[in-house]
Amino acid sequence: MCSLTFGWLIGLPVAVVFVVGAVYGFTALGDSPVLSTALTEEVGAAHLGAALALRSFLGFGAGAVAPIVFGRILDLTNAPGPFPTTWGWAFVSLGLGGLAAASCAWGLAPDHAKALRAKTTAM
C-alpha cells in the first residue's frame, strides 16, 4: 500500500512524508525471508534448487527492470525539465508489481490455507 500512495504525498508536511517513508522502508522487503521459507516448505527436494533459482531470477530481474519503468513513467507524466513534480504514477507502478507478487504468493499458500479460504468464500 505504501508504494501506491507514497508518490502522491508531495506537498504534504515533511513529517508525514518521513513517517510514511519509514513505514515503507521497513515493510517493503520484509516478506522475502518468509516467502523463501514458504517456498522451501512447499517444493519437493528434487526441484528445490530450480525453484529457488527461478525465484531469484524473477526477483532480481524485476529489480533490474523497475528503475527503467519508474524513470520512463516519470518522463511520461511530467513536463520536460530538471525536476519532476508528479511522482505518484511512478510509485503506483511499484505498487502494482508488489500486488502481483502478493497474488502469486497467495496462490502458493499451503493446501489447508487454500481450503480455509475456499470455505470462507463459500459462506
SS3 59: helix
pLDDT in tens, 71-85: 999 999 999 888 888
Q: Which residues of 102-123 are buried (b: 16+ CB within 10 A; e: fewer)?
A: eeeeeeeeeeeeeeeeeeeeee
Specify the DSSP class assigned to residue 47. Answer: G
Instruction: Classify burial at 51, counting beta carbons within 10 Å of its beta carbon; exposed 0-12, middle 13-18, buried 19 or more.
Output: middle
Phi, psi values for residue 46, rounded to 5°: -70, -25
C-alpha cell at 19: 513517517
pTM, two decimal places: 0.74
pLDDT score at 113: 56
Q: How far apart are CA 20 and CA 118, in angstroms?
A: 34
Specify the DSSP class assigned to residue 61. Answer: H
pLDDT in tens, 40-58: 888 889 999 999 999 899 8
* CA 54 and chain centroid, separation: 17
Structural domain boundaries in the chain: 2-122
Q: Are 53 and 30 in contact (CB under 8 A)?
A: no
